[in-house]
Amino acid sequence: MKKQYHYFSIIFLFMMILVLPTYSNAQIIDSLSVQNINLDVPEKAVINNIFVIGNEKTRKNIILRELNIETGITYDWDDLLAILSADQKKIFNLQLFNTVEITPLITGEEQIEILISVNERRYFIPSIIFELADRNFSEWWTNQNRSFKRVNYGARFYHNNVGGRNEKLRVSTQFGFTQAYDLLYSFPYIDRNQKHGLTTQFAYVTNKTIAVRSAENKQEFFTNEEEDVLRRFFNSRLRYTYRGSFYNFHNVNLAYTNIRINEDVLDQNPNYFLHDDTKLSYFSIGYDFRHDRRNYNSYPTNGALLNFGVTKYGLFNSDDFKDWEFTAIANRYLQFNDRFHFATGLTLNAFLGKRQPFTSVRGIGYNPNFVRGYELNVIDGQQSIVHKNSLRFKFLDIEYDISNISPLDGFSTFPLRLYLSANFDQGYVNDRNDIPENRRLTNSHLIGYGPGIDLVIFYDIVFRFEYSMNNYNEGNFFFNFKAPF
């Protein structure tokens, strides 16, 4: 076991070195154009004005917040193009616009204007909920026998730009396998300097069928004869965000969680809550730091992501759960040319306590920690480490004009990208309790590999089709709805 941790610690240090140098001044995006009035491109230029067009609802200051340029400042021309390239990616990653174009307009000798042209997305998005309740599609298809009783349905309402300040409102009502009610409102900036933000969220969830344990590295579900509600979950959360620079985010989360279960659950697993009671309630506080320089959030092909977090469960003597949890994520995306890029990511998770309530169990198999080839399994433990790798080739990149048939503003084009991928993952879960029925995959080196096809549409939607083998020579086709990392 020590050898395994030593091996992965070397990988982690290597990842840290890779993450730091992310962008060079030579990176210039295709949509960055230059217009001039019979003038040569200058070696240096001073910006006189910055104009924004196309923002019918989004306030101009939300866009200008992402810029690393100022009027009245003289820039080296090549440096300016590199800065504008990065600024365009930052504006696009606000996820408010279908397209973003930044154009330097040469108006005189070493004199330029900056024109930012955006095409706003549709912000008011009511949608139908029809989704699987299980961890992934393969779990539902294979382990749960494709049961449509394990489907969630309902309605979800999004407003991603309520007052033009990039506020986010989400209201959802869900029925089916999991009944859930969720309300979220996010203020990205509550101050004039646009550095401090707040988010509030309330969630209430009930289940008549729940996982009560894991055995043979798979979840075991239980429903009583009367089909009573077995678990009631309530969570309220307040998040404070500080964004002091363009790429660094500091978050502090204060939360209250209350979970109540039917007494039949304790008959199935007396240690479900680690105490002989049907109620678990506790306060928690956490801090996480995120450094995000990915070119596109939903499916990055270049840049880096660093995330470190610590959470303290149980702030008062009356709290039923007390523990510390640490997390770390380091992802690097290397773009070799327009067709090829390589993605590698390392994720670590660790509890200090020897045992946790079943509702707080971590490991491999729970989103987002998985090793390809083990989608059908859950590997529970107190500490886990996952290393994912994908070499991808962009096979197709097209965009259709659907303005004549689309009834919605902001959906005038249909972009489609298709990637072929070669994947290799590895992971390790340390289970201090060494539960015999889960011993096959815990405390051992896990490996998964195989080819895949990634389909990316409408900027944010990803479909993955993969065939993966693991180091037990078990192979299968797997289908997923999100980018692996």
- Shared domain for 185 and 287, answered yes or no, is yes
CATH number at residue 221: 2.40.160.50
- Shared domain for 188 and 317, answered yes or no, is yes
- Shared domain for 155 and 110, answered yes or no, is no
Tokens for 29, please give them.
Answer: 């995006």
For 93-150, write each residue's pLDDT tens digit: 998 998 899 999 988 888 999 999 999 988 777 888 888 888 888 888 888 888 888 8
- Shared domain for 61 and 177, answered yes or no, is no
Give pTM, 2 decimals.
0.82
Q: Which of 177, 112, 115 is nearest to 144 (CA)?
A: 177
- Quick check: is 483 in a domain? no
Count how many residues are written for the chain: 485
At which of 341, 363, 386 does a domain end?
386
**What residue ranges in 37-123 does DSSP mark as E strands?**
44-53, 74-76, 97-108, 111-120
**Which has more pLDDT, 193 or 4?**
193
- Shared domain for 184 and 109, answered yes or no, is no
The residue-averaged pLDDT of 140-165 equals 89
At which of 62, 97, 119 does a domain end?
119
Q: Distance between CA 186 and CA 200 in Å, rounded?
A: 6
Helix then strand count (H, E) for the chain reads 5, 25
For 262-320, write each residue's pLDDT tens digit: 999 999 999 899 888 999 999 999 999 999 999 888 899 999 999 999 999 999 999 99
Q: Which of 230, 220, 261 is nearest to 435 (CA)?
A: 220
Could you tell me if 304 and 347 are in contact, meaning their C-beta atoms sit under 8 angstroms apart? Answer: no
Q: In Å, what is the CA distance from 157 to each residue of 129, 169, 181, 252, 407?
A: 10, 8, 12, 26, 18
Tokens for 318, please give them.
Answer: 């009356």
From first CA to last CA, the distance across the chain in angstroms is: 26
- Shared domain for 322 and 367, answered yes or no, is yes
Q: Distance between CA 246 and CA 361 in Å, rounded?
A: 34
Q: Distance between CA 325 and CA 209 in Å, rounded?
A: 28
Q: Is the pLDDT of residue 11 over 80?
A: no
Q: Which of 427, 293, 425 is nearest to 348 (CA)?
A: 427
- Shared domain for 365 and 244, answered yes or no, is yes
Instruction: State the average pLDDT for the chain.
Output: 88
3-state SS class at 224: coil
- Shared domain for 171 and 278, answered yes or no, is yes
Q: Distance between CA 266 and CA 220 in Å, rounded?
A: 14
- Quick check: is 218 in a domain? yes
- Quick check: is 397 in a domain? no
- Shared domain for 198 and 80, answered yes or no, is no
DSSP-assigned states of every residue in 149-179: GGEEEEEEEEETTTTSS--EEEEEEEEESEE
- Quick check: is 480 in a domain? no
List all residues 6 or more positions away from 124 whose beta carbon is below 8 Å from its beta carbon.
Answer: 158, 159
Domain count, the chain: 2
Domain that holds residue 92: 31-119
- Quick check: is 58 in a domain? yes
- Quick check: is 393 in a domain? no
Answer positive or negative: Cα dihedral of 148, 150, 156, 158.
negative
pLDDT band (50, 70, 90) for residue 411 = low
The residue-averaged pLDDT of 351-355 equals 91
The residue-averaged pLDDT of 349-376 equals 91
Q: Distance between CA 223 and CA 9 in Å, rounded?
A: 42
Q: Distance between CA 205 and CA 259 in Å, rounded?
A: 9
- Quick check: is 37 in a domain? yes
How high is the pLDDT of residue 148? Answer: 87
CATH number at residue 66: 3.10.20.310
pLDDT band (50, 70, 90) for residue 194 = very high
- Quick check: is 415 in a domain? no
- Shared domain for 342 and 213, answered yes or no, is yes
- Shared domain for 219 and 113, answered yes or no, is no
- Shared domain for 35 and 176, answered yes or no, is no
At which of 368, 386, 404 does a domain end?
386
